Each structure stands twice: as structure tokens, then as C-alpha cells.
Structure 1
Amino acid sequence: MRSKRLYQIVKTFLNYGLDELIPRERLPLAAKIARTSLFWLRNKHKDKPIEQRFRLAVESLGPVFIKFGQMLSTRRDLLSQAFAAELALLQDNVNAFDRDTAKGIIVDAIGEQKFNQHFSHFEANPLASASIAQVHAATLSIDGKEHDVVIKVIRPNIEKTIHADIQVMHTFARLLSRFYTEGKRLRPVEVVNEYKRTILDELDLLREAANAIQLKRNFDGDKILYVPEVYSEFCHKNVMVMERIYGVGVGEVERLKQLNVNMPLLAERGVEVFFTQVFRDSFFHADMHPGNVFVDVTDVNDPTWIAIDCGIVGTLNKEDKRYLAENFVAFFNRDYHKVAQLHVDSGWVPRDTSVDEFEFAIRTVCEPIFEKPLAEISFGQVLVNLFNTARRFNMEVQPQLVLLQKTLLYIEGLGRQLYPQLDLWKTAKPFLEDWVKQQMGPKALFDAIKDNLPYWAEKMPELPNLVYQYLQSGHKNAEQQQQLLADMQRRQEQQFKRLRLTITGSSLLITSGILAVFNAPVAATITGVLSALLLVGSLRGAG
């Protein structure tokens, strides 16, 4: 099976002429022989550019490769604009698997008795089908009420397919890394490893359920984002039950316009959703492409974003958040020196990087952008340019920053699609400036004290005992140190006495040797006295 799949992939790559990515002169001898032996497999799409051929090849290889291509399309820090734009066209339209098989998996996971008791209706035909899972509508009866829900079910045997395809991807990645001129910069092996972690995480629907619950709690009572409710007691690793939503797809722009939805407000809320997730919660939905985002149009003048499919989320630590916010604000103010210094301080580029040279490189890339009207500037593209520039200075992009960049590109793309005049800078700048003030100003100090007060109040009664124990410990340590110094001093004195006796004895031996030349009895007497002295000295030293 594996060899058959490998042949199918090789055949597809050669039929689309993707062997051109590695120059023939750089191929090892074995690869050249293998390529020559497959003489009947030729490029059948010579009229198309290499970027388009790559996308078509990925589409023809099926769900796992399509999802990989979609992930690659967000890595604009690695790919050229042409490659990234072409891969962005990949559509995850996958045929549904057998409905009886789907129901069987669901019933096995939930339990037949529990399923029959709580699910009064199950729609056999799926609402949607993707590479990893498909979704069925159902009616859940619980607490005396009926709820419209959807049941997400993982494709059967998909994990085996994923592992098999990823092994093949690793093989090609290693070849690309070794023989392709851009292999070192593209880091194909690391990219495949990143994809493996992501796609395997998506196979665990318990993880996705937990992410959705957390995201919903973060925006509880907030009008800008709604996350469907998850029914945890019916969720398993391969099955997930959640509230069914009835929004309009965010990509259905014409329909939203026909409904007279407040598009400027909707676009601005998209930006607010992103920055709130990143800087307030440090927990953000990292897969907000059009298929995962809907709009609640119950009130067209007060629209709400709806997010589903929380399989991929990103997190940022406190330091990452602070440096990112300061970077963004510095960009708004065109303070490139501060941007460069922040990158060095954060450790994103090596400590020995010349701040002045880095500043000049950033200025060269970004200054032409700022010559455009603010509404025409792509915030996401600025971030891409920044990462590309930083990479020249040996910056290694952190995984959480890649997810951040991907999410920002999605959000900005959706925002401009909804409202082309969206000035993301104008929307984001006040939010970020306020956040930086909250984190670094007097309010931040007050909040830190307030947050720590319960802990301090708990420890206050113990403070006298803690101080006493510390002083006692310090007193004991001081006594131990004094004793140690005294022992060291005594040993040094003993060693000095031994050394002095040795020198004296050596001198007497030499003297006795000289005297022996002239008078043997005198020499014998001196030697006897010397031996006695040395014996007494050694006994004292030992004591």
C-alpha cells in the first residue's frame, strides 16, 4: 500500500513537472537514474507556471495534501507571493464518506442506548464534508428541551492515511532540504513536522471541544464574537456535539449587502476580535478562514461574528504580547530604531545583531509602504515583510508568531473583503496603545498589587515566623561558614608547617652531605638529630 501510494505521488509530481524545482545537476546519481527510468512520466502541463502546477498537483493528491497546501499558503514568510497566492486557491471540497459508516462511528462513541435516548432526529446526509471530518445535523433532547445540534465525526482510517502521506512528505522534504538551492531557507523538514503536529491535533475532537469552551468563556456576554455551545457529555475523541448556528457565511458578501448589514462595523469588529483574543486573552482562534466564520444577522445594525472549528488555537506569553504590542505601536509611529531594538531585546534575533543595520533594513522595507494612504496599507503584509527582513538577520520565527501572522492575514483579508475602505491601522492603534499603557503604566502597577493582595494577606500571619526562620537560618549559616573558614585556616597552617619542615630538613640533609665529605662522625650525628626533628614535626602536623 505504501509503495503504491509513493508511486502515485511520484507520478503526480512528474506529470506536473515539479521535478523542475530541483535542478538535475544537483540530484544524486541514484535520483538521476530513477528519473531516467521513469521516462514515460513527463510534464503534461508545460503551458502553466510552476506555481499553478504545484497547486494542481496538491489538489489531485487528496485531502491530506490539500490541507498541507492550505497551511503552506499562510507561510508567506517562506514562500514567494506567487506560490502563496496560488496555494490560497486550494478548496477543501471532499466527497462525504458513507452515511451508515458515519452513524455507526457516532453510535459506537456515544453508546447506542444513550444515542437513542437523547437524539430524537439524525440527518444521515452530511451538512458539510472536509478532509478530516464531516458534520451531520441532529436534534438533541436534554433537560426536557430539544436543541438543534451538529455532530462532527472524524473520517474512518484517516489517521493511517495521514501517517502514510506524512512519511512520504518527510522523504521529499529531506531531498528538498539537501538538494534544492532554497532548501536551507525554506526548512521543509521543519514545515512538515509543524504540519504533522497540527493535523494530528485536529484528529482529537476532545481537544477542539476544550478550545471551543475556553473561547466561548472568554467572550461570554460580549457582542463581538459568539462561539457555539459544546455538549461535553456527548463528546469523544472522534465525535463532537455542539450547538447548530444559523449565520451567514462571512464570505457571502453580496448576501450580507442585500441584507443591509452594517459592513463597516462588521469589519471593525473583526479587527477587534483578533486583537482582543491576542492581547487580552492570549488565546486566539488560529484558523479563521471564511469556511470557519459566520455572521449573526439577527440585528443587521449590530452584527456579531460567529467562530466554529476551534481545532487550532494559538497562545502568547506575557513577554511575546508586550513585545508585539510595542512593535505595532512603534510601526504606527514609524520608529524603526525601536522596532529593531525590541527584536534584539526579545531575543528574536541574535544579541550581537547591529541595531543600526537592522533598523536600516526595516526602514528600507517599510518606508515605501507608509507613502500610501493608511487605508491601502496591508497590516498583515507589513508583518510578513518584517519577518522576511528579520530572517536575513538570522531570526527564527516562533511557531506562535507564525499562527499569529496566519490569523492576522485571514482577519485582514476578511475585513477588507467586507469593507474595502477598512483602515486597520486606525482601528488597531488606539486598542494597542491603550493595552501598552495598561501593561506598563501606573494602572499596571496598581493591578499587580491588587492581584497579589490575596496571596500577601494569606501569608501575612506567617510573616513573623518566616522572618525568624530566615534569621535563624542566616545565623546558622554564618556559624557554619565561620567554622568552615577556621577549619580551612587550620589546614593551611598545618600544610605550611609541613612545608617549612621539609625545606629545613632538605637544607640539613644537604649540609650534612657536605660535612660528610670532611668528617663522617659529625655527619652521622647531624643525620640522627635531623631524623628526630622530622619525626617530631610530622607528629605535630598530624595532630
Structure 2
Amino acid sequence: MRIFRLFYIIYVALRFGLDEFIFDCQPSQNFGPSPNEESLKFKLLRGTIKGALCWRSKKLNRGVRLRLALETLGPIFVKFGQLLSTRRDLIPLDVADELAKLQDQVPPFPYKDVETIIQQTYNLPIDQVFSDFDQIAVASASVAQVHFAYLLDGTPVAVKILRPGIAAVINKDLVLLDTAAWLLESLSTEGKRLNPREIVAEFSMHTHSELNLTLEAANCSQLARNFPDKSLLVPEVYWDFCREQVMVMQRMQGTPVSQLATLRAKNIDLTKLARDGVEIFFTQVFRDGFFHADMHPGNIQVADDGRYIALDFGIMGTLSDNDKYYLARNFLAFFNRDYRDVAIAHIEAGWVPKNTNAEALETAVRAICEPIFDKPLKDISFGRTLLSLFQMSRRFGVIIQPQLIMLQKTLLNIEGLGRDLDPNLDLWKSAQPFLTKWMDEQIGWRSIVKNLRTELPYIAKNLPKMPRLVRQFLNQQTVAEDEAPIRLVMYDLIKVQQQQARWQKRLTLAIILLLVLQVAGVVAFGFVAI
């Protein structure tokens, strides 16, 4: 069956003219051979395919054709296209913009399958778990769907259920995706530069994490704990009912953030809503290092009091303290137009090679960022700015950090959300006070107090041991100093032994060579005598 699926994928790719991505791409000057150096076999293959499929219509541009092909191939390929749209460092901007339109919406699976999964999960009939269960799904995606229900005590809940057999389907399609990526790398020089197998591996990691709903429940619970003030509303998880295939959570009542007319009718302040969105985003990233990485409008609602409601926690991003520090430092340097510090921060973080010319990097960053300052959000395209930065990054050998890819995706979602709610929102002015305060907490007196609180138990535990530990350290230093002359003599002896071993090896080879020559001479003399 897998071979037939592969043939179908190839058919769809050819039908929508996706061979253009392999055969018509112009090789980079810095990567691989020029078009004149293409192999004869490659030219013959390109000509054969173009001749055999000359009937195809290519009125639509390449990005639209790729989007339609992914939609034809099914939900897993749609999700892959969504991830691909975030990799603007690897794919052309027009293709990324078109792939961003992909929607992960598929028809719901039958209610009888829902009943079967519920009964298998709890070993109970559905009416002994829920007093009422809505048979019509309120949301349906490629991996799972959601139904409204009531617990036996009357609590209204939302129940998320994995699609039956989805794990096997995903695993098969992931193998085929990896095969397609391998073919792309093998057939195209530009394909090697795009590194499609890395993208497939990243997609596989995120997709597999969505196949265990207890992981999503844990993400939801963690995000709720990070906002105890309820500035971001997160549904409560009912752990007694959560399993790998089923997740039960609090039912949230809100208006989708994309329904602007309804929000205005409810007297929601859209300008404040836009500012709150920026602050919540930076709070998740820099305060917590744990952020919702799938913040498209379908996963965000607004409560009647104007607070955001977060939904769907299958994809979350994390950042280490080191990532947060250098990221905040870069953001603040951008906001302050201190491009020199941007360059130095990149070098110190290891995001560019250590021998990078800081002055040249500073000049390149200034040329990209200076034109966008003092402009409202409606006049700024973060997508194009990011593309320019990534093009610059390739020139300077910048290593794209995997942990920042999800952050990039979320930033683009925030950009779209901000444009819809308040086109005049100034992202820089909204974010700068937050980041300034955060950096002050990291390197100011607040940071010292915070670190002392964290380390106090360790200090209290080890302080009585300090005299003994210091004495042990001094004794070790004394022994090391006493043994230093002996160690030097041993090093000299080892060097002499190594040198002798090398000479012995050479002498042995010389003897063997002489023996071979002698034998060859005897044999040759024998032939002459005969």
C-alpha cells in the first residue's frame, strides 16, 4: 500500500507542476554547480518530464499550486505546509505567504467511533462517564476533534478525542515525506541548501507530540500556572478524565478574535486588546520561557470582559535562560538602534562564527532595520524584514537556532493579530518597557536578590563544610605541585617511547620492503635463467 501512496504523491506533484521546484530553480552562486555544469542525465530527465506533461496549465503561480497540492494530499501534508510556511529562512517569500493560508480543517469522524474510543478509554459506556454528550463536533482538525459534554456532576466540559488510526497514517506519511525530501536533496543543488530532511524531522517531532493528549493537558496546566492573575484565561484540566487519546477540560465561552464586528458590538477595546496581546506574548517568552506556539486566530478567543482565552496546546515552545538573555538583549538593541550591540550579542551567543567581522555585521543589520523604525505596524512587514535578516544571516554564516523557529512563527502570528485589531499599533513602543524591566531584573539588583533566594538553600547546606572543603582543595594543590616534576619526567619518557615506536615501525616496514625486493629479484633471476 505504501508504494501506491508514493505513486499517488508523485502524480499529484506532477499534476500541479511541483517539478518546477526541482528543475527550474536557479542554483545559488555560492552553492553547487552552475546551470552549464548540470549533468546530461539531469537535463534529459527535465526535458522528458516537461515534454510528457506539456498539457498542464501553469496559470497559477508556484505558491498557489503548492498549496493546492498539499490540500489534495490530505491533512498531514497540510500541517507540513503550515510548518514550512514558518521557515522563511529556507523558502521563497511568495511561497511562504501562500502556505500560510493553509487551514487544518477536515470533516469530523463519525460519532459511533467517538463512542467506541470513549468506551475503550474508560472501560465504561459513554453515559456512565458523561451525563450528556453532544454528538456534533464543535471543531475538527487532522489529528483530533472536540465535542461539548457535561460530567456526571453537571460540569460543562470540552472533550478532545484523537482520530482513530491517526498514528499509523501519520507514521506512513512521514516516511513518504522523508523519502520525498531525500529525492529533492538528491536531484537539486538548491534542494541541498534548503535541507528539506531537517524540516521533515522538525515536523515529525511536533506532530508526534500531538498524538499524546496527556502531553497537551500538561502543557495546558503549565500555561495556566504561569498566569495565576488570570490575565490570560486558560481552561482547567480535569486530570481524572485525561488519557492518551482523550483530554477533558473546562469549557470556555468567548468570541473568536477574528470576529471584529462582534467584539465591537460587545464594547471590547480593540486597541487595548492589541497591546495586551503583545504584552502576553513577551511575558510568555521572556518571563516564563514557555509559550503558545500555535497562536493563529482559530486558537484565540476573547472573553466578554476583554481578556484573551487560549485554546489548543499541542504545540508549545521553550527557551533556556541563555536564549532568553541573548534574545532580550537583541530586541532591546534593536529598539534602541544599537546595531553594534546586536552584532556583538550574535557573536557572543554563538549564533555566528567567532571570527565574524562585527563592523560588517553591524552595517548589514542597520541597512535592514533602520528603514522600519518610526512606522506604524500597518506599514511594516515583519515577514519581509525576517526574510532580509535571514538572507543576511546566510551571508554571515548565521546558524539558525532550532529553538527560535517556533518563536518566529508565533511572532508572525502576533503580527497578523495586531494588524487586524489595531493597524496603528506600535509594536516597538508596546514591547520596550516590558523588555527594559525584564533585563533590569536579569542584571540589576533584583537579579542578585532573586539568585540569592534560589541559591540560599545550597549555601546554607554547604556553608558549614567550607573549612573542610577549602583544606581539601589546598591539599590537592600541594600534592599536584609535588607531583609536577615527576609528571614532567613521565611525559618526557612517554614522548621518547612514542618516538622509539615510530622508528621501530619504520624499521619493520623497511625490512619487509627489502625482503619483498629480494624475493622479487630471485624470481626475476629464475625467469631469466629459464
Aligned residue among 389, 414, 420 for 1:417: 420
CA contact (8 A) 2:216 2:313 kept: yes
Deviation at 1:414, TM superposition (A): 0.7
CA contact (8 A) 2:254 2:303 kept: yes
Deviation at 1:447, TM superposition (A): 2.1
Deviation at 1:294, TM superposition (A): 0.7
Where do 4+ consecutive residues of structure 1 move more than 4 Å?
24-43, 378-381, 483-490
Deviation at 1:37, TM superposition (A): 8.3
- The question of 1:140 aligning with 2:151 is answered yes
Which letter does structure 2 place at the counterpart of 1:401?
A: L
Gap runs ≥5 in structure 1: 493-543
**1:139 aligned counterpart, secondary structure:** strand
Deviation at 1:171, TM superposition (A): 1.8
Post-superposition Cα deviations, 1:325-382, rounded to whole Å, max 9, x if no partner, equal 1111111111111111110110001111111111111122222223645763345654
C-alpha separation between the residues in 1 aligned to 2:488 and 2:286?
Answer: 57
**2:89 aligned counterpart, secondary structure:** coil
Percent of residue pairs bearing the same amino acid type: 46
Which letter does structure 2 place at the counterpart of 1:98?
A: P
C-alpha separation between the residues in 2 aligned to 1:447 and 1:344?
Answer: 28
Aligned residue among 231, 243, 250 for 1:236: 243
C-alpha separation between the residues in 1 aligned to 2:47 and 2:173?
Answer: 21
C-alpha separation between the residues in 1 aligned to 2:461 and 2:97?
Answer: 57
C-alpha separation between the residues in 2 aligned to 1:257 and 1:458?
Answer: 58
C-alpha separation between the residues in 2 aligned to 1:307 and 1:239?
Answer: 19
Aligned residue among 190, 200, 207 for 2:215: 207
Aligned residue among 363, 366, 379 for 1:363: 366
CA contact (8 A) 1:103 1:124 kept: no
CA contact (8 A) 1:14 1:43 kept: no
Post-superposition Cα deviations, 1:394-453, rounded to whole Å, max 9, x if no partner, equal 112112111111011101211221111111111001111111111111221222223322
Deviation at 1:472, TM superposition (A): 4.7
C-alpha separation between the residues in 2 aligned to 1:228 and 1:43?
Answer: 53
C-alpha separation between the residues in 2 aligned to 1:259 and 1:392?
Answer: 50
Task: Report the TM-score, using the length of structure 1 for normalisation.
Answer: 0.82
Which letter does structure 2 place at the counterpart of 1:126?
A: A
Post-superposition Cα deviations, 1:67-91, rounded to whole Å, max 9, x if no partner, equal 1111111222222221111111112
Match of 2:398 in 1: 395
Instruction: Map residues 22-101 of structure 1 onto 2, 5 A cutoff.
Output: 22-23=22-23, 29=41, 36=48, 44-101=56-113
C-alpha separation between the residues in 1 aligned to 2:127 and 2:201?
Answer: 41
Match of 2:169 in 1: 161
C-alpha separation between the residues in 2 aligned to 1:396 and 1:483?
Answer: 45
**1:228 aligned counterpart, secondary structure:** coil
CA contact (8 A) 1:15 1:44 kept: yes
Aligned residue among 289, 307, 316 for 1:282: 289
**2:221 aligned counterpart, secondary structure:** helix
CA contact (8 A) 1:350 1:394 kept: yes
CA contact (8 A) 2:161 2:245 kept: yes
- The question of 1:218 aligning with 2:226 is answered yes
CA contact (8 A) 2:351 2:399 kept: yes
- The question of 1:124 aligning with 2:135 is answered yes
C-alpha separation between the residues in 1 aligned to 2:480 and 2:429?
Answer: 65
CA contact (8 A) 2:88 2:390 kept: no
Question: RMSD of the alignment, in Å?
Answer: 2.7
**2:313 aligned counterpart, secondary structure:** coil
Deviation at 1:30, TM superposition (A): 8.9
Match of 1:3 in 2: 3
Which letter does structure 2 place at the counterpart of 1:189?
A: R
- The question of 1:249 aligning with 2:256 is answered yes
Q: Structure 1 275/483 Cα, relative in aligned 2: closer, same or farther at 3 Å? A: closer
Q: Structure 1 107/481 Cα, relative in aligned 2: closer, same or farther at 3 Å? A: same
Q: Structure 1 34/140 Cα, relative in aligned 2: closer, same or farther at 3 Å? A: farther
C-alpha separation between the residues in 2 aligned to 1:2 and 1:53?
Answer: 24
Deviation at 1:21, TM superposition (A): 1.5
- The question of 1:195 aligning with 2:203 is answered yes
Match of 1:515 in 2: none
Q: Structure 1 238/38 Cα, relative in aligned 2: closer, same or farther at 3 Å? A: farther
C-alpha separation between the residues in 1 aligned to 2:334 and 2:377?
Answer: 12
Deviation at 1:260, TM superposition (A): 2.0
- The question of 1:307 aligning with 2:315 is answered no
Aligned residue among 109, 123, 127 for 1:111: 123
**1:151 aligned counterpart, secondary structure:** strand
CA contact (8 A) 1:205 1:236 kept: yes
Deviation at 1:386, TM superposition (A): 2.6
C-alpha separation between the residues in 2 aligned to 1:128 and 1:469?
Answer: 62
C-alpha separation between the residues in 2 aligned to 1:371 and 1:171?
Answer: 47
Residue-pair matches, total = 480
- The question of 1:295 aligning with 2:307 is answered no
Q: Structure 1 477/415 Cα, relative in aligned 2: closer, same or farther at 3 Å? A: closer
Deviation at 1:258, TM superposition (A): 2.3
Which letter does structure 1 place at the counterpart of 2:142?
A: S
C-alpha separation between the residues in 2 aligned to 1:489 and 1:58?
Answer: 70
Aligned residue among 319, 322, 341 for 2:322: 319
C-alpha separation between the residues in 2 aligned to 1:112 and 1:468?
Answer: 63
Post-superposition Cα deviations, 1:203-256, rounded to whole Å, max 9, x if no partner, equal 111110110000011012232x11101111211111111111111111112221
Q: Structure 1 476/92 Cα, relative in aligned 2: closer, same or farther at 3 Å? A: closer
CA contact (8 A) 2:70 2:78 kept: yes
CA contact (8 A) 2:376 2:423 kept: no
Match of 1:482 in 2: 482
Which letter does structure 2 place at the counterpart of 1:251?
A: S
C-alpha separation between the residues in 1 aligned to 2:234 and 2:13?
Answer: 41
Post-superposition Cα deviations, 1:169-206, rounded to whole Å, max 9, x if no partner, equal 11221222233342233211100111111111111111
C-alpha separation between the residues in 1 aligned to 2:361 and 2:23?
Answer: 33
CA contact (8 A) 2:378 2:419 kept: no
Match of 2:277 in 1: 270
Which letter does structure 2 place at the counterpart of 1:66?
A: V
Deviation at 1:36, TM superposition (A): 4.5
Match of 2:347 in 1: 344
Q: Structure 1 146/372 Cα, relative in aligned 2: closer, same or farther at 3 Å? A: same
CA contact (8 A) 1:380 1:412 kept: no
Deviation at 1:477, TM superposition (A): 6.3
Q: Which has the larger radius of gyration?
A: 1
**1:401 aligned counterpart, secondary structure:** helix
Post-superposition Cα deviations, 1:261-320, rounded to whole Å, max 9, x if no partner, equal 1101111111011000001111001011111111111x2xxx111111111111111111
